[in-house]
Amino acid sequence: MTEKSNVQAVHDTLLSEFRRDERYILMGEDVGVRGGVFRVSDGFIEEFGKHRVIDMPVAESSIVGIAIGAAIGGLLPVAEMQFADFSAPAFEQIVDEAARIRYRSNGAYGVPIVIRMPWGGGIRGALYHSQSVEAFYAHVPGLKVVVPSTPRDITGMLRAALRDPDPVIFLEHKATYRAVRGDAPDDGEFTIPLGPADVKREGTDITVFAYGLMLHHSLRAAEALSNEGISVAVVDVRSLRPLDAATILREARKTGKCLIVYEDNRLFGAGAEIAALIAEEAFDALDAPVMRLGGPEVPAMPYNKPQEDWFMPDPEKIATKMRELAAY
C-alpha cells in the first residue's frame, strides 16, 4: 500500500497500464506537453512519445470520434474531456456511436475506450467547469458510468475500466483530486469490478447513499451525528451503470430510512433512480419516505463563493437532512 491523493491514483494507474500494454493511447486537450490541466498525464509524453500521448484540438467530438475508430482498429484509447462540461459537443459520438456499436454490429465490434471526465463543483469553476453530467450518460444502455471517490477505488476501478471491452465513462470529482488522500494497492493487477457498491460506514438508524464529493461530506455528517446518538450507514454507490441493486436494497432494508445525496440538480438526477428502486423493491421495509438531497433548480453553478456554497450540499446541510429523516 502507498498513501496518495486521488489525482495521484489516476496518474499512477494510467502510467502502470501504459507501461504494461503499448496499445494504450491518450487523447485530449493539453494532455501531452502540458501534462493535463490537472497534471494527470505529467511526464507521459516524455516517456511514451507523441504518437501515444496526443494533444488534440479543442474539438471534443473529434476526440471521441477518433478514439472510437482507433478502438475498433485495435488500440485502447483513453479520451480525456478536459472538464466534464465540455463533453456536450461529443454527446452524439458517445451516445449514438460508442454506446451502440456492439449492439448494432450484433457483437462483431466492441469499443474499448475510457472517457475520463473531471466533474463537479466546489472549486469556484462556475458555469462551464462545475457541472454534474452523470445522469445524462447513466441513462444510456451500452455505456458503463462509474464514480470512484477514494485512491483505492480509483486505482481498482480505473484499471478495470481500462481493461473493459466496452466504453466506460470514468468520472473524477475535481474537488477531491488533492483534498482526499488514502492508501492504494501497489499491485499492478489490483482491480475492482465495475458495478458493486461499497458500504463505507455501518449504521443502524438511517442509510445514506452517495458518491463523489458527497460521499465524503456524508461521512463527515455521519460522524457528527454519531455524537448525537444517531447511527448512520453510508453506502458509496460508486457505479451508476451498472447499478448495484442488490447492495442498495439490502442496505435500505437494514434501517428502513433512506437518504440519497448528490450535487446534481435534484430533479431527474441519478438519485431519483435509486429512490425509485428502493420504493419499488423495498417498500415493505420502509419506515419513512425515501428522501433526496440534491442541487437546486438553477441552470448552472454560480460564480461567487456565497452562491456556490448555497448551491452545493455540504456536511451541515446533509446532517440537517439526516436528523429530519431519523426523527420521522
Catalytic residue among 11, 129, 173, 216: 129
Establish whether 129 is a catalytic residue. Answer: yes
Q: Between the CA atoms of 182, 314, 268 and 110, what dihedral angle is there, to the nearest 10 degrees?
A: -20
User: At residue 238, what are phi and psi to the nearest 5 degrees?
Assistant: 50, -15
Which positions are annotated as active-site residues?
A: 129
